[in-house]
């Protein structure tokens, strides 16, 4: 019961969001927490003060905050997938990515865009808030030319431009804010009960990141990114049909493999392809890649 009262007290304060908490509200919250007997009034007041600061997390994120959210998610991805140490391939991916970024609606982020390769045969790609983009070796092997690689990157850049990652986080922002409050408060209080609370809330932060990476976006969100990716490709000098070729290659894998991991976080490629062409029937598979692009592609990614 006492733990429940503590949790309720923390939730009530964190839930104030952008509403300013007056001294009366702070004292009332402190009295509620102190009444549990688990903390002193001084400790309760400290927790309330922390909650007021943490509550800003439920407001719109600044570019700097978006960067740190994305960096945290990126670090989590790198805990699951090893980083591919291939300087030539990584340089090529960043050269291509930075070119596409210039044609996007979010060409500038707090620390710029960063592109990296994940050392796994799984066919997938991820982008986090703030412009951290990861592409697996499996996805790069699927791509037969530079145009298809550009389509992968354009789609992920579109997610960043449209702030899809932040939209996914917003639904659980209050939980995350409360989690941060509980973790920091538990560290200062140090009681067994609060250490347990710290562990529980710490796990909820990990759950939020896991949901963002593993669950994936909705079908409508992915289709919105596809449409925006086509615009980025065309502005960058690539055929819009590059994305059609990519989706076609993924659909071929889907038909041949029963455990296509990409489908865990994305709609079926055939559905995306049909939706894309229904909205833009003029889009078709691109012509063969120019010789200079094909050569550049082969030199950079031939050993990936």
pLDDT tens, residue by residue, 69-90: 788 778 888 888 999 999 999 9
Identify whether residues 124 and 47 lie together within a single domain: no
Q: pLDDT at position 10, please? A: 44
pTM for the complete prediction? 0.71
Q: Highest mean pLDDT range out of 11-25, 90-104, 118-132, 258-272?
A: 90-104
**Domain co-membership, 40 together with 115:** no
Q: Are both 209 and 232 inside the same structural domain?
A: no
Mean pLDDT across the chain: 74
pLDDT band, very low/low/confident/very high, at 5 (cuts 50, 70, 90): very low
Looking at the structure, do residues 7 and 142 belong to the same domain, yes or no? no
- Is 240 found in the same domain as 149? yes
Pair (87, 140) in one structural domain: yes
| Number of domains, the chain | 2
276-304: pLDDT as tens digits = 888 777 787 777 788 999 999 999 998 88
The reply to whether 289 and 205 lie within a common domain is: no
pLDDT at position 194 is: 52
Boundary of a domain, candidates 215, 250, 278: 215
Q: Of 154, 180, 215, which one is at a domain's C-terminal end?
A: 215
183-231 pLDDT, tens digit per residue, is 555 455 555 555 554 554 445 445 545 655 667 777 888 889 999 999 9
Do the strands 132-136 and 125-128 form a parallel or antiparallel pair, or are they unpaired? antiparallel
Same domain? 256 vs 159 = yes
Same domain, 86 and 105: yes
Same domain, residue pair 291 and 240: yes
Last residue of a domain, one of 185, 215, 245: 215
Query: Which segment, 3-7, 27-31, 152-156, is predicted with the most confidence on average?
Result: 152-156
Residue-number span of the structural domain to which 35 is assigned: 2-60+172-215
Q: Find tokens 């903390």 and name the residue.
A: 39
Q: Yes or no: say if 232 and 207 are a contact pair by the CB < 8 Å rule.
A: no
Which pLDDT value is given to residue 208? 46
Verify that 158 and 279 share a domain, yes or no.
yes
The verdict on 14 and 154 lying in the same domain is: no
* pLDDT for residue 56: 47
């Amino acid at each position: 019961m006492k733990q429940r009262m503590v949790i309720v007290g923390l939730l009530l304060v964190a839930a104030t969001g952008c509403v300013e908490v007056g001294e009366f509200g702070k004292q009332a919250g402190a009295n509620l927490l102190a009444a549990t007997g688990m903390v002193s009034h001084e400790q309760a007041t400290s927790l309330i003060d922390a909650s007021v600061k943490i509550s800003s997390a439920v407001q719109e994120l600044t570019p700097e905050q978006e960067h740190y959210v994305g960096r945290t998610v990126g670090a989590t991805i790198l805990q699951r997938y090893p980083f591919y140490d291939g300087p030539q391939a990584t340089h090529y991916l960043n050269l291509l990515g930075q070119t596409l970024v210039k044609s996007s609606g979010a060409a500038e982020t707090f620390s710029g865009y960063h592109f990296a390769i994940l050392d796994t045969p799984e066919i997938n790609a991820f982008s986090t808030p703030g412009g951290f983009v990861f592409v697996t070796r499996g996805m790069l092997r699927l791509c037969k030319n530079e145009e298809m690689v550009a389509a992968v990157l354009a789609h992920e850049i579109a997610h960043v431009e449209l702030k899809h990652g932040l939209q996914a986080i917003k639904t659980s922002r209050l939980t995350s804010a409360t989690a941060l409050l509980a973790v920091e408060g538990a560290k200062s209080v140090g009681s067994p009960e609060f250490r347990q609370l710290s562990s529980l809330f710490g796990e909820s932060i990990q759950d939020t990141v896991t949901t963002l990476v593993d669950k994936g976006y909705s079908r409508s969100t992915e289709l919105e990114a596809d449409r925006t990716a086509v615009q980025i490709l065309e502005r960058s000098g690539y055929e819009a049909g590059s994305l059609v070729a990519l989706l076609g290659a993924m659909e071929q894998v889907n038909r041949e493999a029963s455990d296509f991991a990409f489908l865990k976080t994305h709609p079926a490629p055939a559905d995306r392809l049909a939706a894309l062409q229904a909205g833009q029937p003029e889009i078709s598979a691109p012509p063969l890649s120019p010789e200079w692009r094909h050569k550049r592609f082969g030199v950079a990614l031939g050993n990936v």
